[in-house]
């Protein structure tokens, strides 16, 4: 599997919190070294005794989703590992971020589009007028099989942005309207191109760069002039799939005149920043989180001296919760069982609410 780097962040505000970057290539290696693949698979590769972790479990998959799922299934996982004589892994927060990056990368490339519709769209939207599949046509368009963007959504978004002005001029000269693409249409086109005989064996790549340098570039490029208030990217989810992001860049570019093209490194930095924004806060509610803390039995031990008081403050994030689970969970389970306390389960927004509450405890 080629290197895929997902830039993710844990913290409420980029400029105020330490950046935690998840590297999915490290996550893939960790998945194997910690024997996760003995039971689990990712997109069909690995064990079959437990769920495939590359399958989308929810539309808004986030670090808190992973933390909640791990907590819910931890006792069964530990029992299965004991029966298989496998050592229980201990994960630090960085390793948890790496695993999330790996799982999310697999979900990010999940083929939910339709290749048949994509082929029709490739023609009806005017793409086929300039771009043949294997050769350069009379209009000079680069053949699809030479597009790096077929398997790299960052390059796809960059090309959509950079290509838009030329495409707009060409279509205006022909008396055609600039097409607007929905995320579904973009995904259909991508799936069609990814399943051509010449491209179907290519591996996906995804390599955002530092969120911090991306934030500086975001300001330097003047993006902050428009993306404020209700248009703030922190309030949008335009990058939860490759199709969403590429369509967003294409449509946005067609509505304005770019001052300059984006270089590959610039796009990687911008993507790292936007990804970080969308995972910087799981939007939990502290008041609900306090009820979760009490109803799940956390207060029974952590507020009565039987276990350390949970005053996590800014350290309260999903990756830290996963680290705590694998470091202290087995002993917690034994202690809870001895007192007749059920192992907690977290549903819906429970985990994000709990984290919001733990941030207030200092």
Q: Identify which has the larger pLDDT, 113 or 189.
A: 189
Specify the pLDDT at position 2: 33
pLDDT of res. 7: 29
Does the pLDDT of residue 22 top 60, yes or no?
A: yes
Residue 138: the pLDDT is 59
Contact 318, 64 (CB under 8 A): yes
pLDDT of residue 94: 87
Task: Name residue, tokens 């935690």.
Answer: 20
Residues across the chain: 362
Q: What is the pLDDT of residue 140?
A: 66
Res 18: pLDDT: 44
Could you tell me which residue, 280 or 188, shows the higher pLDDT?
Answer: 188
- State the pLDDT confidence band at 346, using cuts at 50, 70 and 90: very high
Segment among 242-251, 263-272, 327-336 with least mean pLDDT: 242-251
Q: What is the pTM of this model?
A: 0.70
At 4, the pLDDT band (50, 70, 90 cuts) reads very low
Q: What per-residue confidence (pLDDT) applies to 60?
A: 57
Where does residue 252 rank: exposed (0-12), middle (13-18), buried (19+ CB within 10 A)?
middle
Q: Which residue has the higher pLDDT, 254 or 325?
A: 325
Mean pLDDT of the chain: 79
3-state helix, strand, coil in the chain (%, to 5): 55, 5, 40
- Cα–Cα dist 303/250, whole Å: 52
Residue 16 has pLDDT above 70, yes or no: no
- In this prediction, residue 312 has a pLDDT band, given cuts at 50, 70 and 90, of confident
Is the pLDDT at 10 greater than 50, yes or no? no
* Mean local confidence (pLDDT), 190-205: 79
Per-residue confidence (pLDDT) for residue 282, from 0 to 100: 64
Of residues 13 and 302, more confidently modeled: 302
Dig out the tokens for 145 from the structure. 């099989």
Average pLDDT over residues 146-151: 76
Higher local confidence (pLDDT), 143 or 116: 116
Which residues touch 194 (CB under 8 Å, ≥6 apart)?
111, 150, 151, 200, 202
The mean-pLDDT minimum among 25-34, 57-66, 118-127, 329-338 falls in 57-66
pLDDT bucket at 215, cuts 50 / 70 / 90:
confident
Confidence of residue 109 (pLDDT cuts 50, 70, 90): low
pLDDT in the model for residue 176: 76
Q: Is residue 58 very low, low, confident or very high in pLDDT (cuts 50, 70, 90)? A: low
Q: Is 192 left (phi over 0), alpha (psi -120 to 50) or beta?
A: alpha
In the chain, alpha helices (H): 24-33, 63-83, 93-108, 115-124, 127-130, 153-173, 183-194, 211-220, 242-254, 264-278, 286-295, 298-302, 318-338, 350-360
Summarize the confidence of residues 233-237 as an average pLDDT: 63
pLDDT for 237: 59
pLDDT at 288 over 90: yes
- Per-residue pLDDT at 240: 63
Q: What pLDDT score does 15 carry? A: 37
């Amino acid at each position: 599997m080629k290197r895929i780097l997902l830039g993710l962040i844990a913290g409420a505000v980029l400029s105020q919190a330490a950046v935690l970057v998840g590297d999915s290539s490290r996550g893939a290696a960790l998945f194997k070294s910690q024997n996760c693949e003995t039971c689990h698979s990712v997109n069909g590769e690995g064990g079959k005794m437990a769920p495939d972790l590359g399958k989308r479990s929810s539309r808004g998959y986030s670090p808190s989703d992973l933390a909640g799922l791990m907590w819910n299934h931890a006792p069964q996982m530990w029992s299965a590992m004991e029966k298989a004589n496998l050592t229980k892994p201990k994960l630090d927060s960085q390793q948890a971020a790496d695993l999330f990056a790996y799982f999310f990368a697999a979900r990010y490339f999940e083929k939910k589009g339709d290749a048949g519709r994509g082929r029709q769209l490739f023609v009806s939207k005017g793409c086929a007028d300039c771009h043949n599949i294997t050769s350069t046509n009379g209009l000079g368009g680069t053949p699809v099989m030479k597009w790096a963007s077929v398997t790299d959504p960052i390059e796809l978004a960059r090309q959509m942005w950079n290509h838009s002005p030329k495409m707009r001029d060409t279509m205006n000269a022909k008396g055609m309207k600039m097409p607007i693409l929905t995320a579904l249409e973009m995904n259909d086109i991508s799936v069609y191109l990814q399943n051509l005989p010449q491209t179907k064996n290519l591996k996906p790549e995804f390599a955002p760069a530092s969120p911090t340098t991306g934030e500086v570039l975001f300001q330097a490029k003047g993006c902050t002039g428009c993306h404020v208030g209700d248009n703030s990217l922190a309030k949008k989810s335009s990058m939860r799939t490759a199709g969403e992001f590429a369509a967003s860049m294409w449509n946005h570019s067609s509505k304005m005149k770019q001052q300059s093209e984006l270089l590959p490194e610039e796009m990687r930095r911008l993507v790292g920043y936007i990804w970080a924004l969308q995972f910087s806060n799981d939007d939990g509610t502290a008041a609900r989180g306090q009820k979760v803390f009490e109803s799940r039995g956390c207060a029974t031990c952590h507020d009565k001296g039987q276990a350390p008081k949970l005053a996590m403050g800014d350290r309260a994030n999903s990756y830290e919760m996963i680290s705590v689970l694998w470091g202290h969970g087995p002993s917690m389970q034994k202690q809870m069982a001895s007192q007749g306390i059920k192992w907690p389960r977290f549903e819906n927004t429970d985990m994000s609410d709990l984290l919001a509450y733990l941030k207030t405890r200092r």
